[in-house]
Amino acid sequence: MNNRVARCVMFVTPTNPRFIDKAWTRGGDVYILDIEDSIAPAEKQRCRTLIRESIAKANKGGASIYVRINKPFVDADLPYAVWPGVDRIMLPKTESAAEYRRVHDIILKLEKERGIVPGTIELYPMIESTLGAVNIYEILTSAPRKLRSMGGGGGYDMAVNLGIEMFASFDQYAFPQANVALAAMALDMEPTGCVFVPNPSGRVDQADQATQQASALHAAGVHHAGALHPNFIEPLVKGLSATADEIAWAHKVIAAFDSLTDEGESVGMLDGKVVDKFENDLAKRTLMWAADCAAKDAYKVRAMERAQEANS
Amino acid sequence: MIKQDETRDLTLAGDSPMPKYIRRSVLALSIDDTQLGDKAYASYADAIILDFAKKANVDWQAESKARMPMAIHAASRGAAEVFVRVGCDGVVAELESVVFSGIAGVVVKGVTTAADVTAVASVLDSLEVSRGIPRGTLEIDIEVDTAGAVWHALDIARASERFGAFYINEPALCKNLGMQTTATLAFDPLEYIKSQLITVAISVGGQALGMSYPLSLTHDKVDDDTVKKAVRIARDTGFKGALCAHASWIKHCNAGFCPSPEEAAYYVKVIDVFAEGLKRGMASVPIDGKMIDVPVDLRAKLYLKWANRVQARNEAKAVAHR
């Protein structure tokens, strides 16, 4: 439901009952069922067989479901990953248009076989290498498959490829992340990354880090963030939603701009700030985002209530 | 040598060396410098770039041809790799005058398009044959000093398999971009360009060399701590070495553009903890709140290899200095 709202996208390991069985209670917008790096080689096959039931477990609380497959094992992984209820397949370490297109073709075949509207499962190329970062535009335009949002170009694997120690006090991924975000925006996708927030400790479990991250992303107009620990969920969901003040201001701007238009003007002032078409469009986007978040939150509440009833 | 369990399986770390070259410190010297050999030998630089001048009223080509073989020999005494710097304008005549056995490659300045690189590669193809140099071995490095080189960086890096590295000549680049060359800003105005060149170079299997702001621009003679910190930032940016404005930078570049002993010890711990996790069926385990998974384990393995290659390079230079 409404997979545009992905304020907190959290990885979950299907092979660990402690994680997968509780995921629905955590309140995340999206869970990524991981077959890749969090799964030990000896556990891969068992993990594949758990994906279908894990979809039903993880989305009980109204979350959307993505599946991260293994680049070297796409043929083995995809038959276990493409099911109704999956919104997105994540292809790690994508570096070329050819490999993206190939995965698109396999998904297309599986969609047809499994009663899924062809082309509706998103295919997200994870950009985790310099080669992927420079080839991003060709990758994104190589298959006729929808993709609402796109980000990346940083993270652990990119650090390996760049030969850097992570968690410096400055933006170590300035070009690759911006290049990916620019390509996404040029193709009318929402950018999901490209905002630097220092994390000198390198820890992935601290809620205050999530709060800072959400604040920086929100200020930049980005509404998506990833998480590796449940402590990130609440700060990200809250921090990336439109605030009551923002919603009230957006209503005022739209009303002021409507008045200007009625008077035949295009630029005016409101509380000392310029009101024009740009600000009006921005206000409309804020309200649209607020409505999307409200719908997602209401959906999650209803789903959570149903799940709790079923459990009791 | 970095202590490492000899039985440790590093095969997962891949076959491609990272970084491609151990070229932490590069020093430019003129072939007119009467102390060229002594300076190169004493510097302990990983690589020496030889510069030559086109003197007026002199047959500079004949002079270069006569002097360059000796200069190359002198520069390599300390086990440094030797390069010759040439300009894009009149590059054919320059290459014919300076390419001799003993150089690892050429550093080309003034490049603006991929065609500039293919032209250089074509001349090197011929010179390798005529001068007894193994075919395809001469490297082309690009000194980035123009907007064109930045804009066409990907095409330039992909123009020839000989491409090895980008050097960023920030004073020249700033002039070309119409920017001041005084470092008065609180931030690095070329941060994005540096990240771009590093990304592009690595995407084709090469690397980028540069220093962090403001030393990259001012080339000031500063105290050791300042240089050490600048090198650390440059390494964390993705540079694998720097062209040293002063010989005093070299020891800091040699020490800083590679994993430290403390980092190597941490990588050993990472590998051990991750291996233990795998035995328990866990592919993601924490160390002090940091997540250790496949890419972190891979990075630890790659960096241990890197540390050992650095150690081998240091030993080769030590042998040359005995």
For residue A43, the chain B residue with the least C-alpha distance is B281
pLDDT(B10) > 50: no
Domain segments of chain B as ranges? 23-256, 261-320
DSSP string computed for B41-78: HHHT-SEEEEE----TTS-HHHHHHHHHHHHHHHHTTT
Residue-wise pLDDT tens digits, B259-297: 999 999 999 999 999 999 999 888 888 888 788 988 889
Residues A183 and A96 in one domain: yes
Domain endpoint, select from A218, A239, A260: A239
Which pLDDT score, from 0 to 100, does residue B36 have? 97
Cβ–Cβ contact B258 with A under 8 A: no
Residues A251 and A231 in one domain: no
pLDDT(A180) > 90: yes
Query: What whole-number distance in Å separates Cα of residue A292 and Cα of residue A5?
Result: 7
Which pLDDT score, from 0 to 100, does residue B11 have? 37
Which pLDDT score, from 0 to 100, does residue B283 have? 86
Which pLDDT score, from 0 to 100, does residue B14 have? 45
- Please indicate whether, in this complex, the C-beta atoms of A130 and B200 are within 8 angstroms of each other: yes
Q: Which stretches does DSSP call E strand in chain B?
A: 25-30, 47-51, 81-87, 105-109, 139-144, 163-168, 207-209, 242-244, 285-287, 290-292
- Please indicate whether, in this complex, the C-beta atoms of B290 and A202 are within 8 angstroms of each other: yes
Residues A268 and A231 in one domain: no
- Please indicate whether, in this complex, the C-beta atoms of A203 and B290 are within 8 angstroms of each other: yes
Which pLDDT score, from 0 to 100, does residue B2 have? 43
Which pLDDT score, from 0 to 100, does residue B290 have? 81
Task: For chains A and B, count residue pairs whose Cβ atoms are closer than 8 Å.
Answer: 108
Burial class of residue A206 in the structure, from the number of CB atoms within 10 Å of its CB (0-12 exposed, 13-18 middle, 19+ buried): middle
Cβ–Cβ contact B263 with A under 8 A: yes
Query: Which residues 286-305 of A are in CB contact (within 8 Å) with B?
Result: none
Residues A250 and A231 in one domain: no
Residue-wise pLDDT tens digits, B168-191: 999 999 999 999 888 899 999 999
- Please indicate whether, in this complex, the C-beta atoms of B278 and A173 are within 8 angstroms of each other: no
Which pLDDT score, from 0 to 100, does residue B177 have? 96
SS3 at position A121: coil
- Please indicate whether, in this complex, the C-beta atoms of B237 and A175 are within 8 angstroms of each other: no
Residue-wise pLDDT tens digits, B145-167: 999 999 999 999 999 999 999 99
For residue A153, the chain B residue with the least C-alpha distance is B199
Which of A112-121, A202-211, B104-113, B313-322 is predicted least confidently?
Answer: A202-211
Percent of all residues in chain B with a pLDDT value above 90, rounded to a whole number: 84
Cβ–Cβ contact B273 with A under 8 A: no
Cα A238 to Cα A198, A227, B218, distances in angstroms: 20, 14, 45
Mean pLDDT of the region A71-97: 97
**Most confident residue range from A95-99, B8-12, B285-289:** A95-99
- Please indicate whether, in this complex, the C-beta atoms of B283 and A172 are within 8 angstroms of each other: no
Cβ–Cβ contact A168 with B under 8 A: yes
**Cα B251–chain centre separation:** 15
Which pLDDT score, from 0 to 100, does residue B15 have? 54
Residues A101 and A229 in one domain: yes
pLDDT(B222) > 80: yes
**Cα B24–chain centre separation:** 6
Q: How confident is the model at residue B116 (pLDDT cuts 50, 70, 90)?
A: very high
Residues A235 and A248 in one domain: no
Decide if A3 is inside a domain. no
Which residues from A are below 8 Å from B189, CB to CB? none
Residues A90 and A197 in one domain: yes
pLDDT(B7) > 70: no
Which residues from B are below 8 Å from A203, CB to CB? 288-290
Domain endpoint, select from A185, A204, A239: A239
Q: Alpha helix locations (H) across chain A?
A: 17-20, 23-26, 44-58, 74-81, 97-113, 130-134, 136-140, 155-162, 174-186, 207-219, 233-239, 244-262, 277-311
Residue A312 contacts by C-beta under 8 Å, 6 or more apart in sequence?
A: none
Of the partner residues B199, B291, B303, the one whose CB lies closest to the CB of residue A134: B199
Residues A258 and A217 in one domain: no
- Please indicate whether, in this complex, the C-beta atoms of A162 and B238 are within 8 angstroms of each other: yes
Percent of all residues in chain A with a pLDDT value above 70, rounded to a whole number: 99
Q: Give the distance from residue A175's alpha carbon to the nearest chain B alpha carbon, in angstroms.
A: 5
Cβ–Cβ contact B291 with A under 8 A: yes
Q: How confident is the model at residue B12 (pLDDT cuts 50, 70, 90)?
A: very low
Decide if A1 is inside a domain. no
Decide if A173 is inside a domain. yes
Decide if A25 is inside a domain. yes
A79: domain CATH number?
A: 3.20.20.60
pLDDT(A3) > 90: no
Which of A98-112, A240-254, B178-192 is predicted least confidently?
Answer: B178-192
- Please indicate whether, in this complex, the C-beta atoms of A156 and B293 are within 8 angstroms of each other: yes
Query: What whole-number distance in Å separates Cα of residue B133 and Cα of residue B139?
Result: 12
Residues A121 and A108 in one domain: yes
pLDDT(A253) > 70: yes
Which pLDDT score, from 0 to 100, does residue B9 have? 37
Q: What is the CATH number of domain B23-256?
A: 3.20.20.60
Query: What whole-number distance in Å separates Cα of residue A295 and Cα of residue A197?
Result: 29
Of the partner residues A162, A178, A228, the one whose CB lies closest to the CB of residue B202: A162
Which residues from A are below 8 Å from B262, CB to CB? none
Which pLDDT score, from 0 to 100, does residue B16 have? 67
pLDDT(A248) > 60: yes
Domain endpoint, select from A217, A239, A261: A239
Q: Which helix (H) or strand (E) holds A68?
A: strand A64-68
Domain of residue A76, residue span: 9-239
Residues A263 and A289 in one domain: yes
Q: Give the distance from residue A198's alpha carbon to the nearest chain B alpha carbon, in angstroms.
A: 13
Number of domains in chain A: 2
Residues A170 and A251 in one domain: no
Of the partner residues A39, A178, A179, the one whose CB lies closest to the CB of residue B283: A39
Give the pTM: 0.93
pLDDT(B8) > 70: no
Mean pLDDT of the region B43-63: 94
